[in-house]
Structure 1
Amino acid sequence: PTNKARANQIFVSSLSEPRWASVNRGVLICDECCSVHRSLGRHSSQVRHLIHTPWPPTQLQMVQMLYSNGANSIWEHSLLDPASVMSGKRKANPQDKLHPNKSEFIKAKYQMLAFVHRMPCREDDSLTAKDLSKQLHSSVRTGNLETCLRLLSLGAQANFFHPEKGNTPLHVAAKAGQVSQAELLTVYGADPGAPDSNGKTPIDHAREAGHHDLADRLVEIQYELTDRLAFYLCGRKPDHKNGQHFIVPQMADSLDLSELAKAAKKKLQSLSNHLFEELAMDVYDEVDRRETDAVWLTTQNHSTLVTETTVVPFLPVNPEYSSTRNQGRQKLARFNAHEFATLVIDILSDAKRRQQGNSIASPKDLLLYSKIFQDNDQPDYDSVASDEDTDQELPTSKGDRTKSLDSDLSDGPVTVHEYMEVKNALSASEAKIQHLMKANNSLSDELRLMQKKLQSLQSENTSLRRHVPTNIYQIPSGSDYPDPSSPSALKRRQSARASRPMSMYETGSGLKPYVPKGETPYPEEGIPTLQPFPPNVSKTCSLLSFAISSPLLCRRGRLRSSGWLGESSSIPELDDLESDPTLPSTEDVIRKTEQITKNIQELLRAAQENKHDSFIPCSERIHVAVTEMAALFPKKPRSETVRGSLRLLTSSAYRLQSECRKALPSEGCPGPDMQLVTQQVIQCAYDIAKAAKQLVTITTKENTN
């Protein structure tokens, strides 16, 4: 690694506490304070984990420099004055309670900026901001980073265009090769693509001055929004150095477009660039919230820190936005993983089209973003909008629209008639979904009848085999299907599979998740990981029950340790599946899948009825069923798809047992957050059901071929 990379590694590894950073404030924060920072919103504090979040090296270096040079004193300026002690002002102590003592102090410090240095009052505040911006313009050519942060905290504008110099502070920093200054300016909104009076961008100035690494970094920052959305879905970023600026993943399944969906897609494509940018920025903030929430839940002590006071269930209110836009931002949290991924893909597609000037392409996937602005059947998340705001959501004139729908998805006034048409179309779509669900249930019933008939035929076949002297299956009388976990059943499985290598599950050396060597890179068409899980447990149980009895909707992505995340079979690799004669029969896999499904349904009923003491017994039965199903497969299947499904199946079963144990209270510890535990339990059950369905699909296609 370079000297800068080594310095960053030393900087991070030397920190026992804290483990989080506020990028735009240049400070490090502990877990406890981080929960409050997250609730402030990205407009106040941009929170990132130092270990489990991917960092651009130069951005981490910028935070390190600010932290080392006392950036915290900028936000506590007035508290450093001895007179503040006499006036009663003081910092929160580590011994103080998080709520309300520490939380109120953090909000005053970083949201209200109550303790920063105040400029003397002047009659014209615009002149003060202009003077500060000119000082910033001059300071960025030096390495004095904390001075620029202080100017920005006082109101200097990062995108200030100097009337005499004909450029912005970022042009100056790029030409001078001040990497950290460029990072700080872009964090505060400086545009790497802004032209100067000669039409040159900061990227051009950096390249002309020979600062090629800085120029490449500025290109990455220019595409930060679309890069972050693409990385959220498929764990990859475009190769900007080779001219690739967009990655647009594709969903594995396709849905028929209703008239409402076509209208919604057309409305997105017809948005003005300004409104499209607003929607894209809101989705970017929601991606940041979901990813940070996943890292937060992974790194916290759930028995002590994760409570109702530390959760950020939706985007916090930004006072600079209208009530309508704030409510639309909050409603993004209602989207499940599939809906949200569809919206992200649509935004990536349209962003690429707008930049490249391509014509509008025919869409394949259903766009569900209109759900943000549909009529509410439940109360709003908070009191962002008043009753008057609700009345303003149906303007009939240009004046009303500019007042209340400045971020709506319409370029013209929305009439009551149009609103009712959309609402009726939504109702029709819901009815169609219910009809499809009933049809799916009917097909599932027919499948179960066929499986029972198959079992009956297998039973008759087994009875015939008993009379053969050379029969290797010694089935005790009185039972066609003895206990599969009994020693005799294990012996029969070993004899039946003598022609191929034994699986580690059969030899007793199992009890470990199926993890083959190496990882398969995720293709551009990868499908996003379904995180975080919806907060409504009852609705989640219903969705999971539907997923168990229906075909797969998507292929599981991987949860990055440092952040994030074809055919009707929903497994793109299935067409390329190499013939594998060692795979088990479809009937055996279906029988084990039915056993797993039955146990999962018992777990779901326990979750819906809040019978948390039933979690552990249910998880143990599921684990036994999963182990037996994994034993049907060879130790090293040829197909990476089979290995991935087995890995997901077994590892999810182990995670399920671990999550179910959390439902039991521990001595000397406060009771667990049962809502969080239940969500995690249902997520694990979903992954098990999905992996089992994948294996059924694979073996069916293989045995058919």
Structure 2
Amino acid sequence: MAKRLRSSEVCADCSAPDPCWASINRGILICDECCSVHRSLGRHISQVRHLKHTPWPPTLLQMVETLYNNGANSIWEHSLLDPASVMSGRRKASPQDKVHPNKAEFIRAKYQMLAFVHRLPCREDDSVTAKDLSKQLHSSVRTGNLETCLRLLSLGAQANFFHPEKGNTPLHVAAKAGQTLQAELLAVYGADPGTQDSNGKTPVDYARQGGHHELAERLVEIQYELTDRLAFYLCGRKPEHKNGQHFVIPQMADSSLDLSELAKAAKKKLQSLSNHLFEELAMDVYDEVDRRETDAVWLATQNHSTLVTETTVVPFLPVNPEYSSTRNQGRQKLARFNAHEFATLVIDILSDAKRRQQGNPLSGSKENVELILKSISSQHSSESQDNDQPDYDSVASDEDTDLETNAAKSNRQKSLDSDLSDGPVTAQEYMQVKNALVASEVKIQQLMKVNINLSDELRIMQKKASKLEKQSSVSEGDYDNPPTPLELEETGSGRKGRQRSIIWQGEGSIPEDTDTAPSSSLPSTEDVIRKTEQITKNIQELLRAAQENKHDSYIPCSERIHVAVTEMAALFPKKPKSELVRTSLRLLTSSAYRLQSECKKTLPVETCPGTDIQLVTQQVIQCAYDIAKAAKQLVTITTKENNN
């Protein structure tokens, strides 16, 4: 884990104090807001990791901190240091700048366009320049000067360059010299620890020969980083490389789930992929694992006011222009896999990676398989089933390809019609629930700023949210006729729980129209986005009031939100044909009604001291978040349908 940050550290992009994220391949530390932009660029531009809430290999963290402390940021801002830049009006972002467009535009220019890096003199043969840079890198890695090597890599030096005269790669040189941090940097830029030199030796061999045993062990870890990360994602364990165990292959707890013909066909197609296509698929799944894990950390470290904005959301893997359009489409579709489907794909990849690495023929047997995805009797989070449909970036047409991965496609199809709530809960699904609870705890701490029994309050909130969720799904009516909600059990010192019915007659409610036929038409994406922005703006105002304990602002804020929700719902047909649209609209309107009811509980605070304002605030926050989530779903659905 990361050591305590020094107060002098600032964000490399906007100079905000106390940055809590790192961009590994850029050698910098960044703040939350700038990190949200880095994430949207993709891992091929910036590989982000939280300094405190993500496990780190110690030497990798040391490498990043060394680069940061030795001015690696000046590599990416070289021309901005020129006085002429100030004269021309070019400047870096500041903490006060808005994320969009100010910080986002600066960060894209800095890392995506490399607008401020030092430019080499133009030469007719760029390959000669790259070769010269790579030779310089080859000789520089024997020293501890990390920033020099990062500068060379930023200019085009190749981490896997094979020196024709020396007969080896930069990683061989770094390993022989015991330069652990140089090895970490080279590995981040793609250096392969398994590459043999002209004598048939690998960097691992040279590290062991030189007595650098910790470096040798780390190089082995790097060699198996992809499969280690996939295994750790599912079961929280990595293989014991020291003992010669290089693979941990989890298996679904109920093996009967894997016996369908579709599952067998998917696995067969996966096994028939060429090594090249299999490696591409494995790398894409690795990136998706990184996206999902970073999402979980992001959720656990943000407050509600940032959650309801679209600036921080990375719903699928961003487009990598170096990949084909069909590969980018396949990568984006990975986000649509629910936890069970994605776990099955990961397990199949791990199994086949082991088979290919060991040179075994195709076989149905599984040796040394661990049953770590145990059945859990509790309900699993509806989030795994009710994921927002991602709004894909603009890439080519949706055609069948090997990379959509035949295997991946079949894996998804095999359980499309199954009810996962009746099946075993995987470790990943359990972690999703756990992360949601952690996120709730963080939000409460930030918004309430009082010393309360958080675990008790969380259980209460979870119980109430569960009841509300069940209640909202009971009605088979249209979204514009929300079910009659129940006032939930009130809890607190010396009070008994009670329930009583409340009949909703809020202003702006949508009248029922039983004669209307189902309609498949949807409003324009622009109209939906405009109404969503209005809803989001009002929600942010409500959450600010909650943070500042301005309870008297709850009711007027909720009324404005209710009006905005009613106007948005009115854009849609009275009886939408799409079940997904109906579900989202039902969540939107019922949450707005619930919000008004919760906010009205603040009225007797002065005259009735027994009111639990803290609990009310928690429910207000939950309602606001449900409204924001439903609005986002509707934006995604209309965008997708209108683009088809």
Question: If you compute each CA radius of gyration, which structure gives the higher value, 1 or 2?
Answer: 1
TM-score category, normalised to shorter length: 0.5 to 0.7
Q: Is the 8 A contact 1:227 1:246 kept in 2?
A: yes
- Amino acid paired to 1:674: I
| Alignment partner, residue 225 of structure 1 | 226
Aligned to 1:331: 333
After TM superposition, give the deviation of residue 118 of structure 1 in Å.
0.5
Structure 1 pair 596–98 and aligned structure 2 pair: CA distance change class (3 A)? closer
Q: Deviations over 1:653-672 (max 9, x none)?
A: xxx9996441356xxxxxx5
For residues 482 and 304 of structure 2, what CA distance do their matches in structure 1 show?
17
Aligned pair in 2 of structure 1 residues 256, 171: CA closer, same or farther (>3 Å)? closer
C-alpha distance in structure 1 between counterparts of 2:295 and 2:135, whole Å: 39
- Tell me, in whole angstroms, the C-alpha distance in 2 between the residues paired with 1:560 and 1:61: 32
Does 1:9 find its partner at 2:11?
no
SS at match of 1:312: coil
Show the 5 A alignment for 1:168-567. Answer: 168-253=169-254, 254-255=256-257, 257-304=259-306, 306-362=308-364, 381-385=392-396, 389-390=397-398, 393=399, 407=403, 409=405, 547=421, 550=422, 552-554=424-426, 557-558=430-431
Corresponding residue for 2:72?
71
Residues 69 and 597 of structure 1: is their aligned pair in 2 closer, same or farther, counting only changes over 3 Å? closer
Whole-Å separation in 2 of the counterparts to 1:615 and 1:116: 59
Q: Which residue of 1 aligns with 2:622?
A: 663
Query: Where do 1:600-679 residues align within 5 Å?
Result: 601-605=470-474, 609=479, 617-618=487-488, 660-664=619-623, 672=625, 674-676=627-629
Query: How far 1:90 sits from its partner (Å)?
Result: 1.5
User: 2 CA distance for matches of 1:355 and 1:199?
Assistant: 18
In structure 1, what is the Cα distance between the partners aligned to 2:164 and 2:237?
41
- Which residue of 1 is the match for residue 160 of structure 2? 159
Provide the rounded CA distance (Å) in 2 between the counterparts of 1:299 and 1:356. 41
Aligned residue in 2 for 1:698: none
Amino acid at match of 1:356: Q
CA contact (8 A) 2:42 2:320 kept: yes
Task: Check conservation: 1:192, 1:202, Cα contact below 8 A.
Answer: yes
Counterpart contact for 2:193–2:204, Cα < 8 Å:
yes
- Which runs of 5 or more structure 2 residues have no equivalent in the other structure? 10-16, 370-388, 439-463, 492-496, 498-614, 634-644
CA-based RMSD: 3.9
Q: Distance in 2 between matches of 1:154 and 1:347?
A: 35
Q: Deviations over 1:614-654 (max 9, x none)?
A: 88945869xxxxx9xxxxxxxxxxxxxxxxxxxxxxxxxxx
Name the counterpart of 1:135: 136
Q: Deviations over 1:256-300 (max 9, x none)?
A: 634333222111011111110000000000000000001001101
| Pair 1:600–1:103, CA change in 2 (3 A) | closer
- Letter of the 2:3 partner, please give it: Q
Q: Distance in 1 between matches of 2:292 and 2:342?
A: 11
Shift of 1:111: 1.1
- Which residue pairs with 1:56 in the alignment? 57
Going from structure 1 to structure 2, the CA distance change for 1:616 and 1:49 (only over 3 Å counts) comes to farther
Q: In the alignment, is the contact (CA less than 8 A) between 2:315 and 2:390 conserved in 1?
A: no
Residues in 2 aligned to 1:560 and 1:603: alpha-carbon distance in whole angstroms:
20
Q: Distance in 1 between matches of 2:191 and 2:102?
A: 35
Matches within 5 A, 1:70-109: 70-109=71-110
Q: Distance in 2 between matches of 1:564 and 1:659?
A: 13
TM-score normalized by the length of structure 2:
0.64
| 3-state SS of paired residue (2:22) | strand
- Pair 1:551–1:600, CA change in 2 (3 A): farther
Q: Quick one: which amino acid aligns to residue 471 of structure 2?
A: E
**What residue is the counterpart of 1:474 in the other structure?**
none
Determine helix, strand or coil for the equivalent of 2:111.
helix
Q: Deviation of residue 94 (structure 1)?
A: 1.9
Deviations 1:207-228 (A, max 9, x none): 0011000000000000000000
Q: Counterpart of 1:9 in 2: which secondary structure?
A: coil
Pick closer, same or farther for the CA change 1:109–1:246 going to 2, 3 Å: same
Q: Give the 3 Å change call, closer, same or farther, for CA 250–45 of structure 1 in structure 2.
A: same
Give the letter aligned to residue 291 of structure 1. E
- Distance in 2 of aligned mates of 1:166 and 1:281: 28
Distance 2:280 2:286 in 1: 10
Conserved? CA contact 2:5–2:18, under 8 Å:
no
How many angstroms does 1:557 deviate by? 4.0
Alpha-carbon spacing, 1:127–1:659, altered in 2? closer, same or farther (3 Å): farther
Which AA in structure 2 matches 1:319?
Answer: P
Alpha-carbon distance in structure 1 between the residues aligned to 2:435 and 2:474: 35
Letter aligned with residue 31 of structure 1: D
- How many angstroms does 1:78 deviate by? 0.6
Question: Could you tell me the percent identity over the aligned residues?
Answer: 72
Tell me if structure 2 keeps the 8 A contact 1:141–1:172.
Answer: yes
Spell out, residue by residue over 1:49-93, the C-alpha distance to the aligned partner (whole angstroms, 9 max, x if none): 000000000000000100000111000001101111222321122
Cα 1:249–1:35 shift into 2, 3 Å: same
Match of 2:379 in 1: none
- Deviation string 1:491-542 (CA, Å, 9 cap, x unpaired) is xxxxxxxxxxxxxxxxxxxxxxxxxxxxxxxxxxxxxxxxxxxxxxxxxxxx
What's 1:18 paired with? 19
The superposition leaves residues 367-410 of structure 1 with CA deviations (integer Å, 9 ceiling, x where unpaired) of xxxxxxxxxxx99712111xxx55xx46xxxxxxxxxx584647
Aligned residues: 457
The answer to whether the 8 A contact 2:161-2:169 is kept is yes
**TM-aligned CA distance change 1:563 to 1:611, over 3 Å:** closer
Q: Does 1:114 align with 2:115?
A: yes
TM-score normalised by structure 1 residue count:
0.59
Report if aligned partners of 1:619, 1:660 keep a CA contact under 8 Å in 2.
no
Other-structure match for 1:44: 45
Deviations 1:536-592 (A, max 9, x none): xxxxxxx6xx72xx3545466446999999xxxxxxxxxxxxxxxxxxxxxxxxxxx
